Structure 1
Amino acid sequence: MERWIRARHLPGIPLGRDGRRVTAGDEHIALSRKAAREGMVLLKNEGNILPLQPGCKVALFGKGTIDYVKGGGGSGDVTVPYVRNLYDGFAEIIGEESVFPGTVQFYQDYVTARYAENWAPGMVAEPPVPEDLLREARAFTDTAVISISRFSGEDWDRKSPRAVIKRKDPVTGDTVSMSDVLFEKGDFYLSEAEQRMVNAVSEAFPKTIVILNTGGMMETACFRNNPRIQGLLLAFQGGMEGGCAAAELLTGAFTPCGKLPDTWAADLDDYPGCADFYESDTYVNYTEDIFVGYRYFETIPGAADKVVYPFGFGLSYTSFILSEEKLTVTDDEAEAAVLVTNTGSRPGREVVQVYYSAPQGRLSKPSRVLAGYRKTRLLQPGESEQVTVRFPLSRMASYDDLGKVARSAWVLEAGEYRFFIGTSVRGAKQAAETWTLAENRIAEQLTARMVPTCLEKRLLADGTFEALPTAPCHDFTASVLPPMTNDENNALPEQRGIPRLPDFGKHTGIKLQEVADGKITLRDFITALPVEELASLLGGQPNVGLANTFGYGNNPVRGIPNIMTADGPAGIRFVEGLGVTTTAFPCATLLAASWDPELLYDVGTAAALEAKENNIMVWLAPGVNIHRNPLCGRNFEYYSEDPLLAGKQAAALIRGVQSKGIAATPKHFALNNKETNRRNSDSRASERAIREIYLKQFEILVKEARPWSIMTSYNIINGHRASENKDLLTGILRDEWGFDGMVTTDWWTLGEHYKEVAAGNDMKMAAGFPDRLLAALEKGVLTRGEMEKAAENILRLILRIE
Structure 2
Amino acid sequence: MQGKIKLLRKSLGKEVMTMKNKKLRSMLISVGTIIALVLAVWGIGTVVINNLKAQGVVTDQDIQSTLQVGMGNILPIAIVLGLIIVLIIVFWNRSNKFNFWLKWESFIVFLITVVVSINTLLFGPLQGLMNANNSGMAIKQVKKSLVAKSDNLSKQIVNEGSVLLKNENDYLPIKAQKLNVFGWASISPIYGGTGSGQSNNQGAIDIYKSLNSAGFRTNNELKNFYTKYQKTRPVGGMNDTDWSLPEPKISSYSKTMMKKAEKYSDTALVVITRPGGEGTDLPTDPSHIKAPQKYNGHKDDWKGGKNYLELTTTERGMLDVVNKKFKNVVVLINSSNAMELGFLKEYSHIKAALWMAGTGTKGFSALGKILKGEVNPSGRTSDTYVYDLKKTPTYNNWGAFEYTDKSAAFNHYVENIYVGYKYWETKYTNDNSGYEKAVQFPFGYGLSYTKFEQKMSNLSKGKNGNFSFDVTVKNTGKRAGKDVVEAYFTAPYTNGGIEKSATNLLDFAKTKNLKPGQSQKLHFSFNQAQMASYDSSNGGAYVLDPGQYQIQIKKNAHDVIDSQNLSIGNKITYNANNKRPGDVVAASNHFQYAQDDGSHFTYLSRKDNFANYNEATKAPGKISLPASLQKSATITTSYKEPRATGKMPTQGQNTGLTLSDLRGKRYNDPKWEKLLNQMTIDDMNNLIAYGGYQTFPIKSIGKVGTLDFDGPAGFSSFFAKNLNTTGFPSATMIASTWNKDLAKKRGELVGKQGNQAGITGWYGPAMNIHRSAFGGRNFEYYSEDPTLAANMAANEIKGAQKYGVYAYMKHFAMNNAETNRNYMSMKTKSMSSDMEWNTEQAIREIYLRPFEAAVKTGGTRAVMSAFTMIGNRWSGANDALLNKTLRNEWGFKGFVETDYYVPGTMDATQSILNGGNLMLSTNGVGAKVKYTNNPTVVRAMRKASKGILYSVVNSNAYASANYKKGQSVMWPYQKQLVNITIGAAVVIAALQVLAIYLYRRKYMVK
In the superposition, relative to structure 1, how do residues 8 and 232 fare at CA in structure 2: closer, same or farther (>3 Å)?
A: closer
1:798 aligns with 2:952: yes
- Deviation for aligned residue 1:329: 3.9
- Please tell me whether the aligned partners of residues 471 and 523 of structure 2 are also in contact (alpha carbons under 8 angstroms): yes
Which residue in 2 is equivalent to 1:513?
660
Q: Distance in 1 between matches of 2:782 and 2:537?
A: 30
CA apart distance, 1:682: 0.8
Q: Is the 8 A contact 2:678 2:700 kept in 1?
A: no
Alignment of 1:286-301 (within 5 A): 286-301=413-428
Q: 1:160: which partner in 2?
A: 284
The secondary structure found in structure 1 opposite 2:319 is helix
Out of 734, 739, 747, which is 1:596 matched to? Answer: 739
1:356-382, Cα deviation, whole Å (9 max, x unpaired): 111112212111011111111110111
Is 1:90 equivalent to 2:221 in the alignment?
no
Given the alignment of the two structures, is residue 436 of structure 1 paired with residue 564 of structure 2, yes or no?
Answer: no
Distance of 1:774 and 1:652 partners within structure 2: 35
Would you say 1:31 and 2:186 are equivalent positions? Answer: no
Code of the aligned partner of 1:149: T
Which of 215, 234, 243 is the equivalent residue of 2:364? 243
Cα deviation digits, residues 469-521 of structure 1 (max 9, x gap)? x98525323355589xxxxxxxxxxxxxxxxxxxxxxx996532343497992
User: Separation in 1 of the partners of 2:233 and 2:395?
Assistant: 32
Task: Report the counterpart of residue 227 of structure 2 in structure 1.
Answer: 108
**Distance in 2 separating the partners of 1:513 and 1:10:** 24
> Aligned pair 1:567/2:710, yes or no?
yes
1:372 equivalent in alignment to 2:526: no
In terms of Rg, which structure is larger?
2
Equivalent residue, structure 1, for 2:989 = none
Instruction: Report what 2:605 is aligned to.
Output: 460
Question: What is the TM-score normalised by the length of structure 2?
Answer: 0.71
Contact kept, 8 Å, 1:78 with 1:582, in 2: the verdict is no
Say yes or no: does 1:721 pair with 2:874.
yes
Tell me the distance in 1 between the aligned counterparts of 2:738 and 2:778.
17
Matches for 1:174-323 after TM superposition, within 5 Å = 180=299, 183-184=302-303, 185-278=306-399, 280-281=401-402, 282-301=409-428, 304=435, 305-323=437-455
Mapped pair 1:783 → 2:928: no
Alpha-carbon offset, residue 21 of structure 1: 6.2
Give, in angstroms, the shift of residue 697 of structure 1: 1.0
CA distance in 2, matches of 1:70, 1:626: 21
Secondary structure at the aligned position of 2:809 is classed as coil
Post-superposition offset of 1:678: 0.9
- TM-superposed deviation, 1:399: 0.4
Specify the SS of the correspondent of 1:439: coil
Aligned residue identity for 2:522: V
- Answer yes or no: is the 8 Å Cα contact 1:74–1:153 preserved in 2: yes
1:308-328 deviation digits (Å, cap 9, x = unpaired): 100111000010011254333
- Written as runs of structure 1 = structure 2, the 5 A alignment for 1:351-430 is 351-361=484-494, 362-403=497-538, 407-430=539-562
The residue identity in structure 2 corresponding to 1:449 is: H
Letter in 1 for 2:556: S
Report matched runs for 1:611-630 at 5 Å: 611-630=754-773
Alpha-carbon spacing, 1:704–1:108, altered in 2? closer, same or farther (3 Å): same
1:534 aligns with 2:715: no
The whole-number CA distance in structure 1 between the counterparts of 2:773 and 2:337 is 6
Distance 1:621 1:116, change over 3 A: closer
State how far apart, in whole Å, the 1-side matches of 2:924 and 2:777 are. 29
CA distance in 2, matches of 1:772, 1:36: 41
Compute the displacement of 1:774 (Å).
5.1
Contact 2:770 2:778 in 1 (8 A): yes
Per-residue CA distance 1:653-680 (angstroms, 9 max, x = gap): 1111111111111100011111011132
Change (3 A) 1:708 1:193: same
The aligned amino acid for 1:29 is: D
Corresponding residue of 2:591: 450
CA distance in 1, matches of 2:746, 2:249: 39
Q: Alignment partner for residue 479 of structure 2, among 346, 365, 371?
A: 346
Partner Cα separation in structure 1 for residue 449 and residue 798 of structure 2: 32
Give CA-to-partner distance per residue, 1:110-141, whole Å, 9 cap, x none: 22277699998984411134133222111111
Instruction: Indicate yes or no: 2:600 matched with 1:478.
Output: no
1:253-304 deviations in whole A, cap 9, x for unaligned?
A: 1000000111011111122112111251511100110000110000125773
1:172 corresponds to which residue? none
The size of the alignment, in residue pairs, is 748
CA distance in structure 2 between the aligned counterparts of 1:515 and 1:698, rounded to whole angstroms: 27
Alpha carbons of structure 1 residues 771 and 716: separation in structure 2 relative to 1, 3 Å:
closer
Q: Secondary structure at the match of 2:397?
A: coil
Give the 3-state SS of the residue equivalent to 1:148 in structure 2.
Answer: strand
Q: Is the 8 A contact 1:351 1:376 kept in 2?
A: yes
The C-alpha deviation readout for 1:596-651, integer Å capped at 9, x for no partner, is: 01101111122222222222110000000011011110001000111111000111
Identity %: 28
Query: How many angstroms apart in 2 are the aligned matches of 1:800 and 1:186?
Result: 48
- Name the CA distance, whole Å, in 1 between partners of 2:863 and 2:205: 33
Q: Is the 8 A contact 1:678 1:714 kept in 2?
A: yes
Question: In structure 2, how many angstroms separate the alpha carbons of the residues matched to 1:763 and 1:724?
Answer: 11
- Which runs of structure 2 are paired with 1:38-49 in the superposition (5 Å)? 38-49=160-171
Residue 690 of structure 1 pairs with residue 843 of structure 2: yes
> Per the alignment, do residues 783 and 578 of structure 1 end up closer, same or farther by CA in structure 2, a change over 3 Å counting?
closer
Deviations 1:92-123 (A, max 9, x none): 1114xx21221111112222277699998984
Gaps of 5+ in 2: 1-133, 403-408, 576-585, 617-624, 642-653, 823-832, 957-1006
Q: Which runs of 5+ in 1 are unaligned?
A: 1-6, 170-174, 484-506, 542-548
- Cα deviations across residues 186-210 of structure 1 (Å, max 9, x unaligned)? 2110110011111111111110000
User: Whole-Å Cα distance in 2 between the matches of residues 729 and 324 of structure 1?
Assistant: 41
Q: 1:481–1:70: structure 2 CA closer, same or farther, 3 Å change rule?
A: same
Q: 1 CA distance for matches of 2:867 and 2:834? A: 9
Give the Cα–Cα distance (whole angstroms) in 2 for the partners of residues 606 and 241 of structure 1.
Answer: 15
Displacement after TM superposition at 1:577 (Å): 7.7
Question: Match of 1:84, SS?
Answer: coil
2:445 match: secondary structure: coil
Instruction: Write the deviation string for residues 746-767 of structure 1: whole angstroms up to 9, x where unpaired.
Output: 0124221111101111111124
Question: Does 2:466 correspond to 1:333?
Answer: yes
Mapped partners of 1:40, 1:387: distance in 2: 23
TM-score, normalised to structure 1's length?
A: 0.88
Distance 2:234 2:852 in 1: 43
Paired residue secondary structure (2:629): coil
Name the CA shift for 1:394/1:586 in 2 (closer, same or farther; >3 Å).
same
Rounded Cα–Cα distance in structure 1 between residues aligned with 2:330 and 2:389 = 24
Letter in 2 for 1:283: F
Q: Indicate the SS of the match to 1:473.
A: helix
RMSD of equivalent CA atoms: 2.9
**Counting helix residues as a fraction of each chain, which structure ranks higher?**
2
| Cα distance, 1:654–1:446 mapped onto 2, change above 3 Å | closer
Cα distance, 1:338–1:586 mapped onto 2, change above 3 Å: same
1:177 Cα shift?
A: 6.3
CA change 1:9–1:315 in 2 (3 A) is: closer
In 2, are the aligned partners of 1:553 and 1:795 still within 8 Å (CA)?
Answer: no
- Which amino acid in the other structure matches residue 170 of structure 2? N
CA distance in 2, matches of 1:286, 1:116: 30
After superposition, the C-alpha distances for 1:162-198 in whole angstroms (9 at most, x for unaligned) are 77445779xxxxx676583765522110110011111
